[in-house]
Amino acid sequence: MLEDRGVVYKLELLQHSGTFKARGATHALLQGIDRGEVGDDGVVAASGGNHGAAVAWAARELGVPAHIFVPTISAPTKVERLRSYGAIVHQVGSVYSESLAASEQFVASRGGFSVHAYESPDVVMGAGTCAMEMEQDAGPIDTVFVSCGGGGLAAGTAAWFDGRTELVICETETTNAFSASVAAGHRVEVEVSGIAADALGATSIGELAWGVLGAATPTSITVTDEATLAARQWMWDEFRLLVEPSAAVAVAALLSGRFDTHEKRVGIIVCGANTGTLG
């Protein structure tokens, strides 16, 4: 936890596997083991990289084989991390949705315990412990900024705060599944691209997250890739923290000034650091 000028930063970039996703992956796998759903076929997950790394790490810790499906746009740093945890990596498709389809075909033909990145209630519950810890450690927070792809972290955050805190959902202009769905009034599919696509590149907001966030009525902010890169540089210059683009999106949304934070205590979930350099 880091606090600077009234802003509390939850440093999930220091989490096991490099992102908050270790929480949901571990919880889901433990629940699956308890229910007797995890066998010799192990665990299967699709990911832009971060969820896969979390599942691979949890599987290694629990002695379970892991097959991880990632798109070709996944950062090499993330792919290498998957392999370092002993996972069998399948690079299939150009975007997350294609990798997900391939993982589902794999489970249907060969078996395995599937852990979805954001449609699993166990994953979302695990992600929500991040918000729980932030409030327990920092005390009352008026507004929380959270990056959003498929919506697992956003949904877990909203579920924990349960209306006690304003929620700002942060996306880039080209990974905007939530904001596009808000504009349409229903879940829609979007084309994804840009600096944060490997982590926030869900082509549609998750059904589970859409239901939770619809009840929470959060504010939606999108930022440019340029603003995201500037926010990454700001985090390095200010705190010497090397964050990945998806984590910088929430910082960029705060720095944009488009949400009034005057006299408010603000929290930002710095969701990950699976990146190589600032370049």
Tokens representing 50? Answer: 């971060």
| pLDDT recorded at residue 96 | 84
Within 10 angstroms of residue 200's Cβ, the number of other Cβ atoms is 29
Nearest-CA neighbor of 250 among 199, 208, 184, 191? 199
Of 9-18, 78-87, 249-258, the range with the lowest mean pLDDT is 78-87
Judged against a pLDDT cut of 70, whether residue 184 lies above it is answered with: yes
pLDDT band at 97 (very low <50, low <70, confident <90, very high): confident
Delimiting residues of CATH 3.40.50.1100 domain(s) in the chain: 2-19+121-270, 21-114
Q: What is the CATH architecture of 2-19+121-270?
A: 3-Layer(aba) Sandwich (3.40)
120-173 pLDDT tens trace: 999 999 999 999 999 999 999 999 999 999 999 999 999 999 999 999 999 999
272's CB contacts (< 8 A; 6+ apart) are 12, 13, 15, 18, 19, 20, 21, 50, 199, 243, 244, 246, 247
- Kind of pairing, strands 66-70 and 43-46? parallel
Q: What CA–CA distance (Å, rounded) separates 199 from 3?
A: 25
206-250 pLDDT tens trace: 999 999 999 999 999 999 999 999 999 999 999 999 999 999 999
Nearest-CA neighbor of 24 among 209, 172, 180? 209
124 vs 133, 177, 265, CA distance in Å? 15, 18, 25
For the domain bounded by 21-114, which CATH number is listed? 3.40.50.1100
| pLDDT recorded at residue 43 | 97
57-96 pLDDT tens trace: 999 999 999 999 998 888 788 788 899 999 999 999 988 8
47-60 pLDDT tens trace: 877 899 999 999 99
48's CB contacts (< 8 A; 6+ apart) are 70, 71, 73, 74, 78, 96, 149, 197, 198, 199, 200, 201
